[in-house]
Structure 1
Amino acid sequence: MTQWGKVVAINSLTAAGTTPLEIEVDDLPPLPAERNLAEGIKILYQTCQLYDLNLVVGTTRLPAHKVVLASMSRACCEQVQKAVKEFQQQRQPASPSNTSSDTEKAEKAPPSGSDAEPEEKAVEVHQEAATTSSVEEVPATSPPIYSNQWKAPDSTAPVPAVPSETHSEPDSEKTAAETPKALEVPLSATRPELHLDIASPEAARALLDLVYGLGTEYNISSDAANEDVLRLATQLDVPCLQESATRYLGQNLTCQNAVSRLQTCKEFGLQEMYAAIEEEVVCSRDALQRIAAAEEVIKFPEILQGLLVRSAEVHVPIPNVKEGKEGKRKRAVEPKTGRPEKMSKAPSGRAVAGGGA
């Protein structure tokens, strides 16, 4: 090929696109941070902001947010609504119907002693009734519900005064009905309280850790607390919490806690975990022997019966070697049936006599 008067081979020509090119690229701008509602609620919980509900377990109160708990399930929403309704009923001021009834009684009261009562005393009675009614109609000032977020709740709410006019003894039925309410709801509550029917505060903390996404590990220190977690998950209808507590039953399984965990599975209807623990016990000869000899299993006859049935299903019979040898000996001693055996012929010309030649 001729190029500018010079012969150049084709393979020596530079093809288009083979020369490397460089392009300068500036640093990309940082991506805008996306808004994450779950992360924001988690930060609010960790920084103790805008608490509006208390979870009460015995004497322990754990602050939380109503909206977060109510969003977990329908049962949680109903429990939160019930707690808020009870709290609002307690904070309502006294109705003015009592004051009006007092004034009517004062007006209709018959005169004591003489029929002609001085008008000055009647005017004083009306003035006293008017002043007391005006005072009682004005509710006492109380602190806002969501104030003092970082303070103990026992020093914020006012203590209602006990009326001095009530000298008569109350009825026994009325006091028996009102006493539980006074014990359940303390006078110093500054926010609604959701009372949980469990004994371990650790179970309530496990619920809050799950609700707010505080870590992926399930941290429970005892089997009793895990049972409260299962009970709480059943009451509030939280399947993911029940799943975490169910996995805990299959971890760190020993001969000492196997029977109690089987009973827990039976109590809460965890059939798959019950079958897994039962199979693990039956397949280990030493574990089965120790559990069957323990006194604890006698308290649960259904569990003992299930272990026995499961052991019978897994059992493989071993043939008896002694019976096999005795059978062979008997067959060797038995005479053969059929034609009689032939006698051996004596040698010719000689008599066979026993004892001589």
Structure 2
Amino acid sequence: MCVVPVIKRCVEQRPDVTVLMTTTTTSAFEVIKTLLPSDVIYQFAPVDTPAAVNSFLGYWKPYALVLVESELWPNLVLGASANGVMLALINARMSIKSLNNWSKPVVRLLTALMLSKFSLILPLSNIQAIHFQLLQAPPSVINFCGDLKLGTEELFNVSKIMRNTEDIKEKIANRCVWMASSIHKGEEEVMLGVHRALMQKHPNILAIFVPRHPNIGLEIAHDLKQKGINVALRSRSDSLTSETSIYMVDTLGELRQFYSLTPIAVIGGSFLPGLTGHNISEAAAAGCAVLTGQHVGHFSHMVMAMQRLNPLSILQVGGGMELEEILDKLLSKSEVLEARRMAAKQAFHALSSGVIENVWTLLQHHIFRNAIIR
């Protein structure tokens, strides 16, 4: 999703360039399809085998190939380069595990060869830039312009969002509301324990749970109902009443809408060992007080950057009692809650300013400057 604003810039600034976007899953397409300009072509990415890649390149004959984040496919990269295709890697990231794998003696030369084919690499942080340098990426092609995930705010039409959720907004207007977003299997137990404790202090409280993978929403909802929790499922159009304790949003593409409805966002994927966090910028952009766990992986650069701008913008907490105490304080003291909401939004805007334009400027200079109409 983070690349959609860049695609829009390309369509606006270079109408002579035809854009083909690929993803590897249908779920990704379901979320993105309504956000893409109408003249963007969509296809599934080819399997990274010589035959599939050669067929793909032979049919589409691209001028440039722009890969996003961790999409390093050797056959695609080397095949594209052999066909004279310009290569860029934007919002580039490399986890420690992937860094170790690509650094192994058996693939080290292949890694260096593959990265040498890129004309532009835009790491999402300075730490990621170091990772690519350790893998022998040419220093001359590495540039830094910020994390594209900070640029997703412009994707959403606020008036449309509010129309789609107006009924829910009315029903929760007089309740204490907090949201646990992008939660993984196992984290619902952490969030449920916290919510049950908060129910003793705030009888009118409502928690909005948004699973990272919508397909586990039914499973989590079933488990919660077995524990005697009043759960309403959005995917089943369950009625949201004053008795509803947890509202389960297990539908695709609605996370940003619900950030606009809740004053507090607890970002999941970060409260259990082995998890690596999720994007905090959407919640901050919506003006939520943002909490996250300790296991944030490559999102640590975003957390630290926002905390440097304003220590109140993002709070990292442990699960259980620590999370409960912080949520209770935010729900009980409006001045504390408002200070954190304002800090998150201000820090987000300070970091996101110019990111999309910077990425497009670098792509235009290094990749598209000599592109011709095809």
TM-score (norm 1): 0.22
Find the structure with the greater CA-based Rg.
1
Q: Which is strand-richer, 1 or 2? A: 2
